[in-house]
Amino acid sequence: MRELILASASPRRRELLHGICNFRVEPSFFEERAEGLTARETAEYFAEGKAKEVLSRFPDCLVLGADTVVAFRDKILGKPRNKAEAIATLRELSGNTHSVYTGVCVAGQGFCKTFSTETRVTFFPLSEELIREYAESGLPLDKAGSYGIQDGYPLVKNYEGSYTGVVGLPVEEVRAVLEEAEKYKC
């Protein structure tokens, strides 16, 4: 049985993956740059790039790479650079529905599978007070789309798809692919 490596320093991905198997973390040095790709294609491209970069350093292991991309009106909403950007993004998402794509790649010698999930997320209409309070908490600053569904703030009215995919790793789908990867048992 090959050792599993998570090619991510994300604490949320680490926590989600701990629920299904043992692994170690080796952050990827893959440079996240892409032009002309859809949000789904970007999430998959980055996930595969991360996994393959780490696999190049640890070729006897099985590597899981992941990336989450938030898209609204055909625009990718990355991580905000500051509180002002977080506030602007939250205002834009307020009362609207957007898509969250989480790309995943599991790669090892003789195995490579890349896929993504889409979750449609609808926000409540957000008050300026709530937007500012959330931005001031600092929580939006390390998250694509300037929010975390798990952060405990009343932002999300409903969602269709994978809750854990929005957090950063679609657990059920990942479990199935890990089992498929040469019958890797978690």
Q: Give the pLDDT of residue 186.
A: 46
Q: How many domains is the chain partitioned into structurally?
A: 1
Q: Which of 69, 68, 70, 72 is nearest to 8 (CA)?
A: 68
Q: Among residues 70, 61, 67, 40, which one has the least CA distance to residue 144?
A: 70
CATH number reported for the structural domain that contains residue 34 in this entry:
3.90.950.10
- pTM for this entry: 0.93
The residues of the chain scoring below 50 in pLDDT are: 184-186
Per-residue pLDDT, 110:
87
Provide the residue range defining the domain that includes 50. Answer: 4-183
Mind telling me the catalytic residues?
A: 67
Q: What is the pLDDT of residue 137?
A: 97
Q: What does the pLDDT read at residue 1? A: 66
pLDDT of amino acid 185: 46
At 52 the pLDDT is: 98
Q: Which two tokens stand for residue 27?
A: 């952050």
The helix (H) or strand (E) run that includes residue 107 is: strand 97-108
CB atoms within 10 A of CB 34: 15
Q: Is 14 helix (H, G, I), strand (E, B) or coil?
A: helix
Q: Supply 31's token pair.
A: 């440079």
**Tokens found for residue 29:** 């040095």
Side chain identity at residue 58, one-letter code: F
